Amino acid sequence: MRVALVTGAGSGIGRAVARALAREGWTLALLGRREAALRETLPDALALPADVTDEAQVDAAFATLRRHFGRLDLLFNNAGIAAPPVAVDELTVAQWRAVVDTNLTGSFLCARAAFALMKAQSPRGGRIINNGSISAHAPRPFSAPYTSTKHAITGLTKSLSLDGRAHDIACGQIDIGNAATEMAAPMQQGVRQANGQIAVEPTMDVEDVARAVVYMASLPLSANVQSMTVMARDMPFVGRG
């Protein structure tokens, strides 16, 4: 039995990845704030209603997972939010903290709990895949909180990758650009570009992301995709403009 835990599994990328892993024979646990949405994703999966920003809730969810399955082979650290796209001087501290608490601290709390379980289980080891973003490489206008956290996720990924070696724990990062989910819906209406213009951007099927994560998860623990970028081919990321 291969056990995977997907955070933010009630919608979007998390839902698509959870379903793709289940089709490949993984046993799934789903973590998110809305239990009904988790059960809609996969009715037969272990639903773990929890807020990733809350240490006690995260630890309780992992304790429940351990009681049910006894081990964890894969964590897809996916839960994330963005702040309103406003100038940094118009951003409230509460908006900043909400993004940092979810995207960075939430990823840390889940990775910490997964790391401890993977170290102690027999056979030991496992894989952590962190959901970064192409914002981990270049920002959009008015995206300081989101971009800052995604740069920080890269540091977390590299640190976990290094520290995990002694315990057969692999850690990699997938940086996604314009997957067609609710979060990316504004891309199809027009979003601000670096030159100030508003332009519609191409998107890609979220199933393309799911297949990429399934590939990363399929490798033996002796191999690792340290970093992968999967994006809509024609989006304005590579090149000028």
Q: Tens of pLDDT along 19-51?
A: 999 999 999 999 999 999 999 999 999 999 999
Q: How confident is the model at residue 182 (pLDDT cuts 50, 70, 90)?
A: confident
Q: What angle do CA 29, 30, 31 make, to 5 degrees?
A: 125
Q: What is the pLDDT of residue 240?
A: 62
The mean pLDDT of 161-170, rounded to a whole number, is 98
**3-state secondary structure string across the chain:** CCEEEEECCCCHHHHHHHHHHHHCCCEEEEEECCHHHHHHHCCCCEEEECCCCCHHHHHHHHHHHHHHHCCCCEEEECCCCCCCCCCHHHCCHHHHHHHHHHHHHHHHHHHHHHHHHHHHCCCCCEEEEEECCHHHCCCCCCCHHHHHHHHHHHHHHHHHHHHHHHHCEEEEEEEEECECCHHHHHHHCCEECCCCCEECCCCECHHHHHHHHHHHHHCCCCCCCCEEEEECCCCCCCCCC
Question: Is there a contact between 170 and 224 (Cβ–Cβ < 8 Å)?
Answer: yes
**Higher-scoring residue by pLDDT: 185, 194:** 194
Cis check: omega of the bond before 123, within 30 degrees of 0: yes
Integer Cα distance of 18 and 97 in angstroms: 28
Neighbours of 88 (CB within 10 A): 10
Identify any residues that bridge with 195 across adjacent strands, giving them in sequence order: none
pLDDT at 210: 98
* 147, 93 contact by CB (below 8 A): no
The pLDDT tens digits of the residues spanning 97-114 come to 999 999 999 999 999 999
How confident is the model over 187-226, as pLDDT tens digits? 878 888 888 888 888 999 999 999 999 999 999 999 999 9
Is 215 annotated in the active site? no
CA-nearest of 128, 188, 123 to 157 is 128
Rounded average pLDDT over 133-144: 93
Predicted pLDDT of residue 226? 98
How does strand 27-32 pair with strand 46-49? parallel
What is the per-residue pLDDT across 67-101, written as a single tens digit (0 to 9) for each? 999 999 999 999 999 999 999 999 999 999 999 99
Catalytic residue among 69, 76, 146, 237: 146
